[in-house]
Each structure stands twice: as C-alpha cells, then as structure tokens.
Amino acid sequence: MGMLFLLPAVSLPAQAGSGIEVTMNQAKIVRLTRAADTIVVGNSSIADAAVQDASTIVLTGKGFGVTNLVVLDAAGNPIVDEQVTVVRQAASSVRIYRRSEVQTLSCTPYCESSYKSDAERLSEGEMNAQ
C-alpha cells in the first residue's frame, strides 16, 4: 500500500482562472506552460514582474491592491491573463490604530516599525485625508 504526501509548492504554476496572490514585499515564482515573449503588469506600483528565463517569471508585491498579469507568446497568444492581488503578511505583524492613523509593526521576534513602500505611504496618506 503506497502513501501519498502533499507538500506546499515552491512555485506557482500559471493556471487559467485561478488568480495569483502575492504578499507585500515578497516574491512568488510563476512557471509558464510555454515560452513568453511579452509580459505586462497592469499597475507596476502594485506588482512587478521580472523575467528569470523564457518560462519563469518572478512576481513581486510592491503595493497593496489588485492588478493583472498578461503574458503572451511570440505569436501574440495569451499564456497567462490573471488577476494579481497583493496582500499584507498577517503572520508576525501587529497593527496599531490611533484614530485615523494606522501603524504596522513587524514582530520577528521583536516588534519594530515595518518598511513602507511608496505605495503604502501614498495609501496611508489617502486614508488619513478622509
């Protein structure tokens, strides 16, 4: 009798309709089913795509929000056309709310102010202005 073990994948295969979730300030490997020729990220302040090789993309979360990733082959046929959602890392972080201000601390293991990208600062400024 054989046993089957399922382990979390290190990379994310590009699958139609599944959507891609990336944690802020972290990278995720996206493996393509065939070689890419053109790669487009809808909003580069939310996510960035770097080409590792013709069939591997490294997607990095730069700002919170939703954008899309479009990858085309040399003939212009879509390989990937997916929604990309950049989320905050929930583990090892604490948020402190003071009226309309929010401060995020990274607690690994001691709590310190976490790094804020330009997109985070802009988002915070918009929230505080309301």
The pTM of the full predicted model, rounded to 2 decimals, is 0.64
Residue 80, phi then psi, degrees to nearest 5: -135, 135
Q: Are residues 111 and 69 in the same domain?
A: no
Q: Are residues 71 and 123 in the same domain?
A: no
Distance (Å, whole) CA 130 – CA 128:
5
Examine the domain organization and report whether 117 and 73 are in the same domain: no
For 87-97, write each residue's pLDDT tens digit: 877 667 777 88
Q: pLDDT (tens digit, 9 = 90+) per residue, 44-67?
A: 999 999 999 999 999 999 988 999
Q: What angle do CA 115, 118, 120 make, to 5 degrees?
A: 65
Residue 45 lies in a domain: yes
Q: How many domains does the chain have?
A: 2
Residue ranges making up the domain that contains 80: 12-87
Query: Which stretches within the chain are classed as H helix?
Result: 118-129
